[in-house]
Structures are given as C-alpha cells and as structure tokens.
Amino acid sequence: MRIVLAEDHGLVREGLCALLSCASDIELVGQAEDGLTALALVQRLRPDVLLTDVSMPGLNGIECARRVRASDDGVRVLCLSMHADTRTVMSAIEAGASGYLLKDACSAELLQALRTVAAGRVHLSADLVGLLVACRGSRPGGAAAVRTAALSAREREVAQLLSEGFSTKQAAERLFISAKTVATHRENIMHKLDIRSMAELTRYALQEGLSSLTQRSDSPGSVAQPLSNRPSPSPL
C-alpha cells in the first residue's frame, strides 16, 4: 500500500513517518507540508491513499481531498484531525474523503484505517459515527452546505487565503493570478454568500472548515511555484 502523507507540523509528520515505516505492508512514498505539494505528489506518484491533516495553511486538507477525488478516482483520502465538530467532519466526507480519523486515535487504529480506506471502504473514528448519523437525519438539505457548494474551487482558495490574513497581492502571488482577479473573486464570493465584510468572510471560513487560522505560511520573499513549473517535490 503506497501512501503520501500531508501534515504541516514537522514533529507530527516525523512521528507519523516513523509509525508508517514500522508497517510491513505500507510504503510511504512521499510527504508534504501543505496541500499544494500534496497534490503535486499525488499527481506524480499516484499512491493508493493520501493521508492528510485537515488544518493546513494555503490549501487545507478538505480542499485537497476535493481536488484529489475530482482528478483521480483511484486515490483514496483519509483525513486526520483534532477537530470533531459536525461541520468539519461532514465537509471532509462531502469533499470525497473515504475516512476521518481523530488525532487522539491509537497507532493501531491509524494503520487499520489506512488499510480499510485502501480497500475501498469507509473508516470513521468511533466517536464520529453517531454524530454523522444524527447529522444526516436532522439536516433539511443544509443551507450552509449549499452556500459552500456554490463557490468554485478557486473561490474557496481565495476565501481561505483572505480569511487567514493574506492581502489581495499576497493571495495573487500564491495563486499565480493577478490582484485584479483576486479582487473579482472576492466580490463574487461576498455576493454568493451575501456577506459584506472581511470579518464576516473570516467567520464564514472558520464555520465551514475552510480555515482554522492556526498559522500562516507567508515568509517574506517566498511564494509557492505553480504545479506546472515548480520543481517536482522529492519522494522519499
């Protein structure tokens, strides 16, 4: 079973790498610190499973899962997160994730979850099963979910970056589009969501799991390279 790991916290990533290396039926073929690098690795290495953290700056794990599932039905996605709220879990499942595992799970459950997902089945942490059943039974169609679905993939990217405090220019540099295009996307987002301020946009992004605001990765002078032009990330 070939795995790509995406986790933005170095210490956690190293621990997961050590754990996966102990399983004889698992090969960790690549690791990434963010969603964009994870997407590039998935496209190049075509693993069986992408194991991804949910809260990552720039491109979060839920959006990463949505992109992977839209572009390659053969790659399964297992989300790993500390967040157990209904909205975040449902967003991950609706984005196409085959599993959602809480970070307080034991190592044996993580390995079993990877095997389950790789086999084409679904794995959820036990604490989440009742939560999702109750949510499915009570949702009248989900107005919030409809609003999120109304945004395009690019608009979700822009919404996350702006809500995390990036300026229009910084967001444009990260996405390799013009500042004018970012401004247009921002106007479209606010119109679709019927919001009128950046504070409302930030609140919306937090509620919908687009952003956790846990950190920003905008070191001066460094921006991500486009997938078509950037050097290929190095597999392990």
SS3 11: helix
Delimit the domains of the chain by residue range. Answer: 2-138
Main-chain phi, psi angles of 102, to 5 degrees: -80, 150
Q: What is the mean pLDDT of each run of 10 residues along the chain (236 residues)?
A: 96 96 96 92 95 89 89 88 85 88 93 94 83 56 52 85 86 90 90 82 74 48 36 47
Q: What share of the chain is helix, strand, coil (3-state, %, to 5)?
A: 50, 10, 40
The pLDDT, as a whole number, for residue 193 is 84
Of the candidates 129, 136, 151, 131, the one whose C-alpha atom is nearest the C-alpha of residue 62 is 151
Looking at domain 2-138, what is its CATH homologous superfamily?
A: Response regulator (3.40.50.2300)
Is 161 in contact with 175 (CB distance < 8 Å)? Answer: yes
Radius of gyration from C-alpha coordinates of the chain? 17
The pLDDT, as a whole number, for residue 228 is 36
pTM over cut 0.75? no
Q: Give dist(CA 97, CA 65) in Å, integer.
A: 6
Torsion of CA 85, 88, 89, 91, to 10 degrees: 150
